[in-house]
């Protein structure tokens, strides 16, 4: 297979038919072929949808010979679903795209050509202006800034979900074994030659994204904890600073009591200090416990995902 594209689906299978029609037209023109199924595969990953998305995908498979479907046993999350798709993809070039077409399929050949002509291993799309709500843009930028700071990476703030990789990069990604995954972080960690290309980002015409604020915050926490130990180092530094301040304050109070003032006991001051330091201790224990939870996941060594059914291709080990 020449080209593989992976598209995760969670309750938005109703968008798949229009996506397939557009995708087929784009690659018929790009490859100058009426039947693209020998060169291109489009892999839909049903990530535990709660509606009839899987039924809609099964209906599409006979109509579009290039469509393949993987049905996961439950909802594992977008990044795990994409990892499943990368594992099954057989193309020399592998990419990902969302089914909402905010990054249109017409932009995909541009990414492929840029990767081939510039000798990159992975090419990301860049959006000049994101056609999303103001809150989504703000939270996305804040998250990317925070993650870049904590991981010491330099991911552009306007990077899109659309990207294309060569076989070497995909094979390297598939060799990773960690259970908690944040794709942009892992893609940066892998190295290789990264490229960026401005692409169109349009309004979503049908439906609403399932990525609400709660899910975005959960993803941000999972991503930071799974990809960086910098929060632990920050807390250690903060704890050291507090300890030094407390030690110096104790020396000052002892010196003042001996030579200047006979301090009277202060209930409010005592309670405030106890509450403050108790809060710091709980925070430190909480963050450390989250990292210990990640260690537990790795030690359990459960499969990254469980495939329930596949359609239009043989299951790979």
Contact 173, 190 (CB under 8 A): yes
Give me the pLDDT at residue 161, please: 84
In the block, residue with structure tokens 């992976």:
6
Both tokens assigned to 305: 């995902």
Distance CA 147, CA 231 (A): 11
Distance CA 217, CA 227 (A): 15
Both tokens assigned to 30: 């790009």
Contact 211, 139 (CB under 8 A): no
Secondary structure (3-state) at 103 = coil
Domain residues of the chain, as ranges?
3-227+302-311, 230-300
Give me the pLDDT at residue 20, please: 92
Give me the pLDDT at residue 44, please: 94
3-state percent breakdown (helix, strand, coil) of the chain, nearest 5: 55, 15, 30
Gyration radius from the chain CA atoms:
25
Give me the pLDDT at residue 13, please: 87
Give me the pLDDT at residue 317, please: 40
* 3-227+302-311 CATH: 3.90.550.10
Mean pLDDT in runs of 10 for the chain (317 residues)?
Answer: 90 89 93 91 92 89 90 88 91 91 89 92 82 62 68 69 92 86 80 88 64 62 64 69 69 67 57 65 71 69 83 62
């Amino acid at each position: 297979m020449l080209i593989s594209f992976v598209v995760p689906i969670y309750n938005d299978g109703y968008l798949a038919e229009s996506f397939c029609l557009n995708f087929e037209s784009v690659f018929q023109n790009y490859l100058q072929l009426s039947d693209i199924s020998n060169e291109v595969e489009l892999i839909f990953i049903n990530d535990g949808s709660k509606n009839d998305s899987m039924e809609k995908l099964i209906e599409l498979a006979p109509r579009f010979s290039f469509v393949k479907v993987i049905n996961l046993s439950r909802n594992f999350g977008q990044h795990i679903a994409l990892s499943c798709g990368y594992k099954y993809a057989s193309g020399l070039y592998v990419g990902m795209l969302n089914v909402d077409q905010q990054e249109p399929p017409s932009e995909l050949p541009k990414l492929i050509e840029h990767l081939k002509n510039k000798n990159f291993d992975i090419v990301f799309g860049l959006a000049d202006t994101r056609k999303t709500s103001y809150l989504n843009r703000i939270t996305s930028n804040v998250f990317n800034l925070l993650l870049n700071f904590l991981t010491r990476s330099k991911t552009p703030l306007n990077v899109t979900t659309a990207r294309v990789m060569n076989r070497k990069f995909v094979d390297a990604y598939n060799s990773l074994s960690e259970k908690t995954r944040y794709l942009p972080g892992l893609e940066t960690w892998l190295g290789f030659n990264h490229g960026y290309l401005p692409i169109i980002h349009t309004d979503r015409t049908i439906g609403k994204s399932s990525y609400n604020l709660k899910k975005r915050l959960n993803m941000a926490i999972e991503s930071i904890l799974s990809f960086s130990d910098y929060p632990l180092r920050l807390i250690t530094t903060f704890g050291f600073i507090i300890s030094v301040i407390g030690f110096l304050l104790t020396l000052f109070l002892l010196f003042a009591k001996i030579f200047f003032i006979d301090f009277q006991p202060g209930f409010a001051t005592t309670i405030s200090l106890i509450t403050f330091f108790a809060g710091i201790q709980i925070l430190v224990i909480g963050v450390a416990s989250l990292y210990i939870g990640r260690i537990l996941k790795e030690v359990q060594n459960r499969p990254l995902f469980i495939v329930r059914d596949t359609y239009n291709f043989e299951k790979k080990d």
